[in-house]
Amino acid sequence: MQEINSLISSFIKELDYEPILQMYERISTGKMLRSKLIMAIAGSSENAINLCAIVEMIHLASLLHDDVIDEADTRRGTPSINALYGTKDAVMLGDVLYSKAFSKLSGFAPEISNKISNAVAGLSVGELMDVRLGDGFSVDVEAYWRMIYLKTAILIEASAYSAAVLAGFDADKFGVYGKSLGLAFQIIDDVLDITQSSEVLGKPALNDFSEGKTTLPYIYLYERLGESDKERLKSLYKKSLSYDEVMWLKKVMRESGAINECVNRAKTLAAEALEAISEYKNEKLQSIIKNMIDREF
């Protein structure tokens, strides 16, 4: 992971503008799931490491723009770039990372460069869908699935597919793994926003609901509530929640079974991911799934 971060820094240094590097070094890089996935499939060859750096730059760029759209002050428990430097710098840094990533991506075979490029276009559409769905409380589950596929899963899918191309494996099967992993990952993230404390999350608990995000637990919850509770749920949407309101939401989430249904849906997707690549018997990919699913919610 350190080698990947160093490579990204070297790419940015090629631009010969110190403020860009200074801002990049303030970004919290997170767990680098996509890089772990690429290396679990393709190893740590020079091409694989370069692909990791490209995908991480794309992912970081999307998060920078996401934080601007959400007016987020923190990212993974640390101040966001827009909070530190302002929205203009955050947007431009995202643009720099996107542009540099595409510059480096152009050196890869068309099968890989096209897959990653199309994923980035889809990612942007998913972000726009997320914003539009947040205009009002949405229970459109089909729109939710399409949105999280584009916003979250499509780049994970493209990463796994491209890594398989590098390794000479069946890329379509690894694409299925990546897509299913990405969908499950987003569902688990939706659940953790409700079940975990603010200290663990590095942001306020139930932040998704307060910010107007469309997430699966609330869709499932709405389907199970009586009419009066449905109205109460809608009235709390995009609102700064009081302690009593937070406790009510957590209570009805548990009692309704909405959380359990989300976790079970994620587990089904995880099983589909592993089935797609079962012939390869890749323990690292099995471990990625296991660490995501086998936990307390």
Using an 8 Å Cβ cutoff, are 53 and 62 in contact? Answer: no
Examine the fold and report which residue of 80, 108, 136 is the final residue of a domain before the chain moves on. 108
Co-location of 104 and 142 in the same domain: no
Co-location of 47 and 192 in the same domain: no
Co-location of 176 and 281 in the same domain: yes
Co-location of 32 and 99 in the same domain: yes
Co-location of 87 and 138 in the same domain: no
Co-location of 76 and 118 in the same domain: no
Domain that holds residue 241: 109-297
Q: What is the pLDDT along the chain (297 residues), one digit of tens a residue?
A: 899 999 999 999 999 999 999 999 999 878 899 999 999 999 999 999 999 999 999 999 999 999 999 898 988 778 999 999 999 999 999 999 999 999 999 999 999 999 999 999 999 999 999 999 999 999 999 999 999 999 999 999 999 999 999 999 999 999 999 999 999 999 999 999 999 876 666 667 788 999 999 999 999 999 999 999 999 999 999 999 999 999 999 999 999 999 999 999 999 999 999 999 999 999 999 999 999 998 877
Co-location of 142 and 247 in the same domain: yes
Instruction: Provide the CATH number for the domain around residue 262.
Output: 1.10.600.10
Looking at the 3D structure of the chain, how many domains does it have? 2
User: Which residues contact residue 64 at a Cβ distance below 8 angstroms, ignoring those fewer than 6 apart?
Assistant: 27, 81, 82, 90, 91, 93, 94, 97
3-class SS string, 191-259? HHHHHCCHHHHCCCCCHHHHHCCCCHHHHHHHHHCCHHHHHHHHHHCCCCCCHHHHHHHHHHHHHHCHH
The secondary element (H helix, E strand) that includes residue 174 is: helix 171-195
pTM above 0.75, yes or no: yes
